[in-house]
Amino acid sequence: MFAVESCPSLREIPGMDYPIRLADILASLRRLDGEDDDPPRPGGVPMRLRRPWAAALRRSA
């Protein structure tokens, strides 16, 4: 909502004299949650999609 149009990684918060980096906001929130020791893990668990045609090939073999 307060993103700087020319630089989306910055936020201009009303009442602040200077823009704040989004990374700093997120790091502060992690510290408040007690997660400052471990950085967030990259990515998620890979998900294998089912292929309906593969089952048909197995049946015919």
Tokens linked to 48: 């294998």
Tokens linked to 8: 């989306």
Distance CA(10)–CA(22), nearest Å, equals: 6
Q: State the total domains in the chain.
A: 1
* pTM for the structure as a whole: 0.49
State the sign of the Cα–Cα–Cα–Cα dihedral 10, 16, 17, 23: negative
pLDDT tens for the chain, 61 residues long, are 888 888 878 888 899 899 999 989 888 888 888 765 666 667 766 666 666 666 666 666 5
Tokens linked to 45: 């668990």
Return the pLDDT at 6.
85
Whether residue 4 contacts residue 19, with contact meaning beta carbons closer than 8 Å, is answered with yes
Residue 27 is assigned to a structural domain of this protein? yes
Q: The domain containing residue 26 runs over which residues?
A: 1-37
